């Protein structure tokens, strides 16, 4: 009996406990970011959740917790208590980012954890998705593209819930259609979305999985649509008015520049003409003065001689 207890203890030390549900194996390209959802029991709603790094459960070391004690740039964590899911995001993935555990802190001797493996590659991932975060609306359809699938038996599963295998099936009242669009490419289409269709899903191809989060929003009301249209029209009118004002300002500026240049040129010409008119009379007066001086100079000896002669007589 003690032997079986010892084996159970070793297994729990290696693999942790299964009160948490997450992915098993994910292929991702080096340097990229990846979000991993971790589903936990409702009894753990108010407990601290964390991400633990390492191959063995009992020797792994936590890298980030929901209590905010550590906030490394490489990791982030959030807890949706309504959905009983906490999400961890790992950035700038390298080959060293391979072995992790989604964990719940219960006490110092016993925590709940579930292992997942990341296969980080420099080439093309074995199973990839165009976008991990998808948005849809109630009653509408949404399509999700997956690439490099290694198996023709593609599965679409809700995290911790039911699965649909290609070609089609129903999940929570939503129609799921899986189409093969290429040699290794698939498209999963969800039609007739409901609000409860939102949440985390897993696409499985062989042993690999890819988590995808779907957000579903209600239809916009007619009033909201009218308000939106009115707002858009108002913005367009305001834009046209601004363009008109800008055009008027440009025209006025050009007109003012032309008037200013014309006025400056007219003033320059006027000053030049005034200077010319003032210079010509001055030259004439100088010439007349010189001529009078010359006459006086030439006539003085004659008058002098005549005076002398009169005196002699």
Q: Report if residue 141 sits inside a domain.
A: yes
Give the CB-side neighbour count of residue 288, counting CA atoms within 13 A.
6
Question: Using 50, 70 and 90 to split pLDDT, how confident is the model at 304?
Answer: very low
Residues 7 and 120 in one domain: yes
Q: CA-CA distance, 77 to 58, in Å (whole number)? A: 21
Number of domains, the chain: 2
Q: What is the dihedral of CA 228, 234, 239, 240, to 10 degrees?
A: 130
Q: Report if residue 307 sits inside a domain.
A: no
Please say which residue of 220, 254, 277 terminates a domain: 220
User: Which percentage of the chain shows pLDDT scores above 90?
Assistant: 50
Question: Is the pLDDT at 78 greater than 90, yes or no?
Answer: yes
Question: Is the pLDDT at 21 greater than 90, yes or no?
Answer: yes
Please say which residue of 125, 150, 165 terminates a domain: 125
Residues 153 and 207 in one domain: yes
Q: Report if residue 109 sits inside a domain.
A: yes
Question: Using 50, 70 and 90 to split pLDDT, how confident is the model at 71?
Answer: confident
Q: Report if residue 75 sits inside a domain.
A: yes
Residues 68 and 50 in one domain: yes
Q: Which domain holds residue 89?
A: 1-125
Flag the least confident range among 35-49, 65-79, 142-156, 225-239.
225-239
Residues 84 and 104 in one domain: yes
Q: Report if residue 296 sits inside a domain.
A: no
Residues 16 and 117 in one domain: yes
Question: Using 50, 70 and 90 to split pLDDT, how confident is the model at 132?
Answer: very high
The CATH code of the domain that includes 68 is: 2.60.40.10
pTM over 0.85: no
């Amino acid at each position: 009996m003690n032997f079986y207890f010892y084996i159970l203890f070793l297994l729990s030390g290696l693999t942790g406990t299964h009160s948490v549900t997450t992915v098993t194996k994910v292929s991702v390209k080096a340097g990229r970011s990846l979000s991993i959802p971790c589903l936990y029991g409702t009894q753990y709603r108010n407990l601290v959740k964390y991400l633990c790094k390492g191959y063995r459960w009992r020797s792994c070391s936590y890298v980030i917790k929901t209590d905010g004690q550590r906030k490394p740039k490489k990791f982030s964590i959030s807890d949706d208590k309504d959905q009983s899911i906490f999400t961890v995001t790992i950035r700038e993935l390298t080959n060293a980012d391979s072995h992790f555990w989604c964990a719940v802190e219960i006490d110092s001797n016993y925590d709940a954890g579930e292992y997942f493996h990341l296969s980080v590659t420099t080439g093309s991932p074995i199973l990839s998705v165009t976008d991990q975060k998808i948005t849809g609306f109630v009653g509408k359809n949404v399509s999700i593209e997956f690439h490099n699938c290694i198996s023709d038996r593609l599965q679409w599963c809700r995290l911790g819930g039911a699965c649909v295998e290609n070609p089609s099936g129903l999940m929570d009242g939503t129609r799921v259609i899986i189409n093969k669009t290429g040699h290794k490419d698939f498209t999963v289409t969800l039609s007739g979305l409901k609000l409860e269709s939102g949440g985390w899903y897993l696409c499985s191809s062989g042993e690999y999985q890819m988590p995808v989060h779907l957000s579903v929003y209600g239809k916009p009301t007619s009033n909201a649509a009218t308000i939106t249209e009115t707002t858009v029209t108002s913005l367009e009118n305001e834009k046209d008015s601004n363009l008109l004002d800008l055009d008027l300002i440009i025209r006025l500026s050009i007109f003012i520049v032309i008037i200013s240049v014309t006025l400056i040129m007219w003033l320059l010409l006027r000053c030049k003409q005034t200077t010319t008119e003032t210079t010509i009379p001055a030259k004439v007066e100088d010439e007349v003065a010189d001529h009078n001086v010359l006459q006086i100079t030439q006539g003085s000896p004659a008058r002098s001689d005549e005076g002398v002669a009169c005196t002699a007589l």
